[in-house]
Amino acid sequence: MNKLLKLLVLMSIILLAACGTDSKDKLTVATDAAFAPFEYMDKGEMVGFDVDLLAAVMEEAGFDYELKNTGWEPMLASVQGGDADLAIAAITINDDRKESYDFSSPYFESTHMVVFPEGENITSAEDIKGLKIGVQTGTTGADAAEKIVGKNDESISKYESNSLAFMSLGSGDVDVVVTDNVVASEYVKNNPEAEVDMINDQEAFESEFYGLMFPKDSEVRAEIDAALQTVIEDGTYAEIYEEWFGTEPNLDALKSASK
Ligand code: ARG
C-alpha cells in the first residue's frame, strides 16, 4: 500500500469509531419536582429518590441527560408530544395512561392516604364525603378521591401541584388532601407545625406501581428498562432505597408486579 492509501484507511477507521453505535443523543427527562421525597427542590437543586434512581439508570444505560422541572401537566404533554424522551415523577402505571404512553417495569409500590388536621375524626376513606378535598390535578390521587365522591364533584379542588394542595390544607381552604402514601408520611413527619395527621384505607385505596414514562414507541425505552433491571438486580436500587426510606425494598413485590 502506498502511504496515501494507508493514511486514508487509518482516517476512515478513526471516523467509523467516532460515529459508532456508542455515541448517543443526550436525552431530555421531564419531572415535577414538588413531590418529596421522590423529587423536590432543596437549596435550588433537584433531589429525591427518583433523581438518584434516574442517575443510576442513565449511567448504566450510558446516556447523558438533562432533567427538566416542567411541572406535572406540562411534563405529561411533553412526553406525549415527544419533546421529552422520558419522565420520572412517581408516575403511576395504569391502563388509562398506557393508551397514550409506554412505561418501564415498575420500580416502586404505592397507595393513597388521606391527610387532615390533627384531631379531625377521619378513620376511613369514606369520611371524606361532605368535606372539601384537595388533590393534584391529573393524578391517581384525584382519581382515588373521585371514586369516593364522584367524578368532578364540586367538593374536590384540583391543584397544579401537590405542594399547593398541602398549602390549601394549611390555610383551611380544603379539609383533607388525598395523595400518595409516602409523600403524605413525609409531609406529616417534616411539618410538625402544620399539625396534620393521616390515615390509610386498604379497602378503598388500591396498590399501584410507579414507572418511568415514555412516548409511545419510544426508541430508548427497552434499553433504559434493561438498565433499570440491572440497577435493581445489582443492589444499586436497594442502596438508593435505603438511603431515602431507611428500610430494605421488597424486590419480590416489584418482580411479581412486572409480570
Ligand atoms: N402517583 C401519582 C400519579 O401518578 C402522583 C404522582 C405525582 N408526582 C409528582 N411528581 N407530582 O398520578
Ligand 1 centroid from CA 105, angstroms = 16
Residue with cell 430508548: 220
How far does the centroid of ligand 1 lie from the alpha carbon of residue 210, in Å? Answer: 9
Distance 137 CA to ligand 1 centre (A): 9
Give the position, in ligand 1's atom list, of the atom nearest the Cα of 161.
11
The segment(s) of the chain belonging to CATH 3.40.190.10 are 10-109+209-248, 112-199
pLDDT at site 210: 98
Kindly state the helix (H) or strand (E) to which residue 98 belongs, with its residue range.
helix 95-98
| Cβ of 111 below 6 Å from ligand 1 | no
Q: Name the residue at shortest CA distance from atom 12 of ligand 1.
A: 139
Angle CA 253–250–28, to nearest 5: 85
Q: Give the rounded percent of residues in the chain with a pLDDT score beyond 90.
A: 89
Please check whether residue 72 is in contact with residue 136, taking contact to mean a CB–CB distance below 8 angstroms: yes
CATH fold of the domain at 10-109+209-248: D-Maltodextrin-Binding Protein; domain 2 (3.40.190)
Q: Does the CB atom of residue 32 touch ligand 1 within 6 A?
A: yes
Residue 131 pLDDT > 60: yes
Instruction: From 100, 87, 43, 53, select the one nearest 216 (Cα to Cα).
Output: 100
Mean pLDDT of the chain: 94
Contact assessment for residue 51 and residue 208, using Cβ atoms and an 8 Å cutoff: no
CA separation (Å) from 134 to 111, 115, 167, 231? 17, 10, 10, 36
195: left (phi over 0), alpha (psi -120 to 50) or beta: left
What kind of fold does domain 112-199 have according to CATH? Answer: D-Maltodextrin-Binding Protein; domain 2 (3.40.190)
Q: How many angstroms does the Cα of residue 140 sit away from the middle of ligand 1?
A: 7
DSSP 8-state assignment for residue 161: S
Angle, alpha carbons 250-109-143 (nearest 5°): 165
User: Could you tell me what percent of the chain has a pLDDT over 70?
Assistant: 95
Three-class DSSP category at 143:
helix
**How many A from CA of 92 to the centre of ligand 1?**
7
Query: Is the confidence at residue 6, as pLDDT, over 80?
Result: no
Cell of 55: 442517575
91 lines ligand 1 (CB under 6 A): yes
Alpha carbon separation from 84 to 62, 87, 88 (Å, rounded):
18, 7, 11
Centre a 10 Å sphere on the Cβ of residue 130 and count the other Cβ atoms it contains: 10
Q: Is the CB of 182 under 6 A from ligand 1?
A: no
Q: How many residues does the chain have?
A: 259
Parallel, antiparallel or unpaired: strands 108-110 and 156-159: unpaired
Ligand 1 center–CA 251 separation, angstroms:
21
Please tell me if the CB atom of residue 90 comes closer than 6 angstroms to any atom of ligand 1.
Answer: yes
The string of pLDDT tens digits covering residues 177-226 is 999 999 999 999 999 999 999 999 999 999 999 999 999 999 999 999 99
* Amino acid identity at 210: Y
C-alpha span between 30 and 215 (Å, rounded): 12
Q: Which of 50, 97, 162 to mutate to test the pocket of ligand 1 (most atoms within 8 A of CB)?
A: 162
Q: Is the CB of 184 under 6 A from ligand 1?
A: no
To the question of pTM greater than 0.75 for the whole model, the response is yes
Best probe residue, ligand 1, of 40, 67, 70, 72 (max atoms within 8 Å of C-beta): 72
Please check whether residue 122 is in contact with residue 114, taking contact to mean a CB–CB distance below 8 angstroms: yes
Coil, strand or helix: which one is 221?
Answer: helix
Q: Looking at residue 258, what is its pLDDT?
A: 85
The pLDDT value recorded for residue 24 is 84
Tens-place pLDDT, residues 217-255: 999 999 999 999 999 999 999 999 999 999 999 999 999
Q: Is 139 in the pocket of ligand 1 (CB under 6 A)?
A: yes
Cβ within 8 Å of residue 28, ≥6 positions away:
65, 66, 68, 78, 83, 84, 85
